[in-house]
Amino acid sequence: MATDLSRPDPDGSGISRRLTRRIRTEIRARGWIGFERFMERALYEPELGYYNNGSTKFGPLGDFVTAPELSPVLAGVLATRIADVLRPFDEPVVLEVGAGTGRLAVDLARALRALDIRAQYWILEPSPELRDRQRRRCAAAGIEIRWLDDFPREPFDGAIVANEVLDAFPATCFVKRAGEVRPLGVGWAEREFAWMEGPADAELSVYIASLERRLGRRLADGYRSEVSRQLPSWMRRVAAALSRGAVYVLDYGLTETEYYHPQRPHGTLICHYRHRAHDNPFLFPGLQDISAWVDFSACARTARQAGLTVAGFTTQGQFLVEAGTMPDAGSRPQAADLAAAQALKTLVLPGEMGERFKLLVLSRGMSLDPPPGRDFRARL
């Protein structure tokens, strides 16, 4: 599949070669690195990783399009829910984790202002390059933002928003082999990166054994998938940052039984390069996005362990349609409205983002009504 993808320009090729040399040096020193380490360096290596090297990532000239880039509708509907959370607080805060281009921050801040909500807007963004883009966009829109390097030490009252953040957590890949769990990592063979099984990992084996108990079955021999070992610590930090309020997690993902279904024997790892989805994470390191779908059952479980309440779980399509975002069937939109209507369809249709993307709502110190749409918490 990789041979069908066009090669990068000379600048991009140079970035990728430099990053490849760095990762190859680590592999030669250690003999093998876990895939989560490879993914971490491919995405976040200073100056060279995908999210730090200045390349265009979002939109038509990038590699993929996010929901906020398509339409302000999602921000508008989110704002109506967040406004109800913020109204009781004297000094409410909205903290967005991983704000991408800043489009959601601008649209959400404007929508909250229109609802007469005066809240501080903070962004936690580890990427200096993306932070610069966000700063320019927010300044042009007249939106005042405070940027953070980490979660605040003092808990606040308000809302935390994480849109397409968890899928970029480095994934721990594994395979079942002769009844045992073997971690999958990366080696160097024939002048390129290659999948390689690593030494036994007791922690990973314990996790998969508990997963199999919850599923009520063993994963088949040769079954490959992944887990997010960063999720529990991230959720604990989220919970510690919030005194009272709500957390909104939006991402493409599945429940545990769907994620580890027998008919999904190769996991969910996916790469995006110039709007082409493929399954080769070793193609052009630093120049393509690598992600794994989110296990929302694990999200809910770790949230409860961290002291949060699962207040709602639904699909993005259900959330938007039930909130009344769809145009009147009898209306005749002008040509200028057709692009907006098409973007909305992408957000809500089952074959597009509507079913693949989910919304998980968590709360702390307050009672919340479930979000619009069918309540799928029982599936978690």
Q: Where are the domains of the chain?
A: 2-170+228-379
Token pair of 12 as six digits: 């991009």
| CB 18 within 8 Å of CB 297 | no
Answer whether residue 130 shows pLDDT above 60. Answer: yes
Proportion of the chain above pLDDT 70, given as a percent: 91
Tens digits of residue pLDDT in 23-80: 999 999 999 999 999 999 999 999 999 999 887 666 665 556 677 777 889 999 999 9
CA 367 to chain centroid, in Å, comes to 26
- Taking CA atoms, 131 is separated from 34, 223, 361, in Å, by 29, 39, 26
Tens digits of residue pLDDT in 221-241: 999 999 999 999 999 999 999
Tens digits of residue pLDDT in 348-365: 777 677 689 999 999 999
**Confidence label for 329 from pLDDT (cuts 50, 70 and 90):** very low
Distance from C-alpha of 175 to C-alpha of 265, rounded to nearest angstrom: 10
CA 174 to chain centroid, in Å, comes to 20
Distance from C-alpha of 207 to C-alpha of 172, rounded to nearest angstrom: 11
Token pair of 141 as six digits: 């829109």
| CATH 3.40.50.12710 matches 2-170+228-379 | yes
Q: What are phi and psi of 128, to 5 degrees?
A: -60, -40
Answer whether residue 335 shows pLDDT above 50. Answer: no
CB atoms within 10 A of CB 168: 18
Tens digits of residue pLDDT in 252-303: 999 999 999 999 999 999 999 987 899 999 999 999 999 999 999 999 999 9
**pLDDT the model gives residue 72:** 87
**Confidence label for 179 from pLDDT (cuts 50, 70 and 90):** very high
Q: What are phi and psi of 158, to 5 degrees?
A: 160, -145
Burial degree of 315 (CB within 10 A; 0-12, 13-18, 19+):
buried
Q: Which amino acid is at 103?
A: R
Q: What are phi and psi of 98, to 5 degrees?
A: 65, 80
